[in-house]
Structure 1
């Protein structure tokens, strides 16, 4: 599938190189550093608290289960994880649900190496942008957690962002079987605009990344996916960032020995600002379960026949 002509300038080699560089800037700082303050599964995205007594580890497992249930992983034969991180979802697909084939996409060589070393049964990991990926099979489910935030760039207009998101969703639709489901989790702008976003976050933490708005996602999905369910997790993410910050403070000396005092200070500031942003509603978190529009599916099958 190729990009639409009116958005061709949005899908250049330079653009994808910038995206990869931004991911490496953040995620390839070192797995041992992240291991100090993430939960044991190395799940680096918003957790899901179901009870006030949930620990971070339990809440992260709840989040994984939410997305696995959304795509009906227990009866899936093939699943794609776009933005697979250190592979916590891929491990669940392999070891808990015994999915025959799971593919993970990441732009971080360090994460890909970590997953390959685990040698999960039926799991393939690729250091590849979704724009360059051409699957050789369709998937019963696609999961994407925390990757959508990196698809657009800070220089994009809202219309350009929507074209990028629509291209992503259209490709996902084409990669799914007729009964497939996309489970998407992403940070969004809340009650602030991009002009009000913290320059420290844009410059030092997630360079060349741009958050979507919920309206942009819904607009991009029109005619491609129906929204089966949508749930907010803004306060869950505030709590998650606070848990990470607490753990990083507790391991400050070890973290400093690994990455240096400046980096530790930068991450502590990032986690504090993020927690505050979620608490104040400046940024939000949504989990969307998306079902392909039936009319598009039958149109495509009719053409194939």
Structure 2
């Protein structure tokens, strides 16, 4: 009885939309007036101490273990929690401040990358688009397919880099290689990608040979911090700096400064927090260990403190919400294939991850920012933004 009263008090103001909640003993209550949007069923009690200590992990693990079930759109339910001003989750930008954790040394960075990216190319191939691009797409129209949006994104970034034939390009965290291969084909540059994922490295090597770009594209299985005695005309990083960790942001920008030629251009594509940087304890434990979402002003400060000139900043928040929504839809469509090699707890974990991240972007809990900055003055960049959107 005491546990249920605690739950009722906690959940009463957790959602911005009408909801039915059924407790473990069969009692059902409705919060909010009007036609219900969702139904939340508790099949077991989540210990009160767990909820108070870390609601993100407590709810996340309860969903993974089937102790709670959602009827209705999972993404919209989570968005409803974020929109509620009185929710114990809704008022936090990223649930939690920076967690106490080990520093992302080179060894630990490799382990973290392996944890997420090396669970198998075949798994990602099931629900990513044909280009195997695992970052925010760019939807020029509402009807763009996921593949079109990913190709748009790569094209958008390459335009921002203001590439010239013969330029050298470094992609820090190159994924499955779509950007470096496209840059070589479209702009005639010499492109180098680095990754810590053995699965990604192997596939990029195959693509370079398949597409006959051995002379213009190179991929290295290494930490970007280990690149020595080399400079590049352009440096890009898409969705990698979130894995660096707060205490290594300074090191990242120092290394980019070292690797970029005078007048060189860099594009940084990163998930960001509108206010304070932080992390989510459930995502840190189950999805991206060692991750840290930097604040926009935090990245701007690092850029300017290293004497880079910030020339452009663009938000693609809604694009990432839509990208994740499409990934979540694709994931649901391939569950029978996933079940051949993964258990139900893994499936529920990924379902929660994709939908909760989409909800986070949709509600402005987190953002996606693209920064363009130069090392010193570069007067060859066009005078207006027209070149980015042609």
Q: So what's the TM-score if we normalise by structure 1?
A: 0.83
Structure 2 counterpart of 1:251: 334
What's the offset of the Cα at 1:179?
A: 3.0
Structure 1 position 66 matched with structure 2 position 150: no
Matched, 1:175 2:248: no
Out of 219, 225, 247, the residue aligned to residue 125 of structure 1 is 219
Do 2:317 and 2:364's aligned partners in 1 also have CA atoms closer than 8 Å?
A: yes
Q: Quick one: distance in 2 between partners of 1:240 and 1:37? A: 12
Aligned mate of 1:208, from 267, 280, 290? 290
* 8 Å contact kept, 1:150–1:209: yes
Question: Residue 114 in 1 paired to residue 234 in 2?
Answer: no
Summarize the Cα distance change of 1:21–1:177 in structure 2 as closer, same or farther, 3 Å threshold.
Answer: same
CA distance in 2, matches of 1:82, 1:34: 20
Q: Which residue number in structure 2 is paired with residue 36 of structure 1?
A: 126
1:79-112 alpha-carbon deviations (Å, 9 max, x no partner): 100000010112102223232x211110101110
Q: Which residue, out of 186, 189, 195, partners 2:270?
A: 186
> Is contact 2:276-2:295 (8 Å) kept?
no
Residue 177 (structure 2) aligned to one of 87, 92, 98: 87
Contact kept in structure 1, 2:244 and 2:292, CA below 8 Å? yes
Task: Provide the rounded CA distance (Å) in 2 between the counterparts of 1:193 and 1:225.
Answer: 21
**In structure 1, which of residues 7, 23, 26 is the aligned counterpart of residue 116 of structure 2?**
26
The correspondence for 1:145, drawn from 230, 238, 248, is 238
Q: 1:47 to 1:248 in 2, by over 3 A?
A: same
Alpha carbons 2:242, 2:271 under 8 Å: kept: yes
Q: Which residue of 2 aligns with 1:8?
A: none
- C-alpha distance 135-145 of structure 1, shift in aligned 2 (>3 A): farther
TM-fit CA distance, 1:135: 4.5
| Counterpart in the other structure of 2:325 | 242
**Separation of aligned partners in 2, 1:147 and 1:111:** 14
Structure 2's unaligned 5+ residue stretches are 1-101, 379-390
Pairwise CA RMSD of aligned residues?
2.0
Q: Per the alignment, in what secondary structure is the counterpart of residue 374 of structure 2?
A: strand
Answer yes or no: is the 8 Å Cα contact 1:191–1:283 preserved in 2. no
The whole-number CA distance in structure 2 between the counterparts of 1:238 and 1:102 is 30
- The structure with the larger Rg is 2
Task: Map Cα deviations across residues 39-65 of structure 1 (whole Å, 9 max, x no partner).
Answer: 100000001111112111111111101
Q: Distance in 1 between matches of 2:303 and 2:332?
A: 41
| Cα distance change, pair 261–97 in 1 and its aligned pair in 2 (3 A) | farther
1:266 corresponds to which of 308, 331, 349: 349
State the number of aligned residues: 271
Measure, in 2, the Cα distance between the counterparts of 1:240 and 1:35. 15
2:315 pairs with 1:232: yes
Give 5+ residue unaligned stretches, structure 1.
1-10, 296-305
How big is the shift at 1:281?
1.3
Correspondence for 1:96: 186
Q: CA deviation at 1:27?
A: 0.5
* Distance across 2 between alignment mates of 1:135 and 1:90: 21
Larger fraction in helix: 1
Q: Distance in 2 between matches of 1:65 and 1:18?
A: 33
Structure 1: distance between partners of 2:268 and 2:112? 21
Q: C-alpha displacement at 1:71, in angstroms? A: 1.4
* Cα distance change of structure 1 residues 192 and 250 upon mapping to structure 2, 3 Å threshold: farther
Aligned to 1:7: none
